[in-house]
Amino acid sequence: MKCLTFIILLIILQACPQKFQPVKTVPMENKEAKNNPYYSRTDTSKLDIPNEEWKKILAPDLYAISREAATERAFTGKYNEFDEIGDYYCAVCGNHLFRSTSKFSSSCGWPSFFEADKKGVYYKRDTAYGMERVEVLCKRCDSHLGHVFDDGPKPTGLRYCMNSVSLEFIGDSEK
Ligand SMILES: [Zn+2]
């Protein structure tokens, strides 16, 4: 009986091989990150890459912001005035950071969100420039993303003030 089942299975496999082809799961890769071997929107394993290596891979503006905590000029970022439906990923490593439904229009000049993916970010106290702030970093690659403030809208009351350069948006229609 087992043998018969096996034979039937073989016949089915031969009759319709296309049904048993593996499903393509390779996501569309970030164009800017095509030379970045660490970039992946599916691999969530922690990265520990020294800055000397990142410097060879990342565009100068992304390196300055993500690895040296620079800030892009207000009102210049590509996602400041942007409201498409989709997800925001770390431009350095592809880690998921925000969903567009948590983005809100703030007048601060940088893309703002009221909620982050808890698995995507972590926080650090930042006292640079004589200010008391909370820095937001990528959990996978430790890149600087921006800061979080407590003057955001409901339901969280938080305002994640992010650099557009640090983000990579993928619209739902592109997935
Ligand atoms: Zn990252």
Ligand 1: distance of its center to the CA of 154 in Å? 27
* CATH value at residue 37: 2.170.150.20
Ligand 1: distance of its center to the CA of 97 in Å? 9
pLDDT tens per residue across span 12-24: 444 444 444 444 3
Asked whether residue 128 is domain-assigned, the answer is yes
> Which has the minimum average pLDDT: 21-25, 36-40, 145-149?
21-25
Asked whether residue 63 is domain-assigned, the answer is yes
Q: Is the previous residue joined to 155 through a cis bond, with omega within 30 degrees of 0?
A: yes
Q: What is the pTM of this model?
A: 0.80
Residue 56 to residue 95: CA distance in whole angstroms: 20
Q: What is the domain count for the chain?
A: 1
pLDDT band of residue 3 (cuts 50, 70, 90) is low
Is 161 catalytic? The answer is: yes
- The mean pLDDT value for 3-14 works out to 48
Query: What count of other Cβ atoms lies within 10 Å of the Cβ of residue 117?
Result: 17
- Residues 6+ away with beta carbon under 8 Å from 154: 114
- pLDDT at residue 175 in the model: 77
Ligand 1: distance of its center to the CA of 118 in Å? 13
Asked whether residue 96 is domain-assigned, the answer is yes
pLDDT above 90 covers a percentage of the chain that reads 76
Q: Which residues surround ligand 1, an ion (CB under 5 A)?
A: 90, 92-93, 95, 138, 140-141, 143
Asked whether residue 4 is domain-assigned, the answer is no
**Beta strands 86-90 and 121-126: pairing type?**
unpaired
- The mean pLDDT value for 142-149 works out to 98
Report residue 4: phi and psi, to 5°. Answer: -65, -45
Q: Pick the catalytic residue from 93, 138, 141, 161.
A: 161
Asked whether residue 34 is domain-assigned, the answer is yes
Q: State which residues form the domain around 104.
A: 18-174
Asked whether residue 97 is domain-assigned, the answer is yes
Write out the DSSP string of 130-159: G--EEEEEETTT--EEEEEES---TTT--E
Ligand 1: distance of its center to the CA of 120 in Å? 8
Ligand 1: distance of its center to the CA of 145 in Å? 9
Asked whether residue 2 is domain-assigned, the answer is no
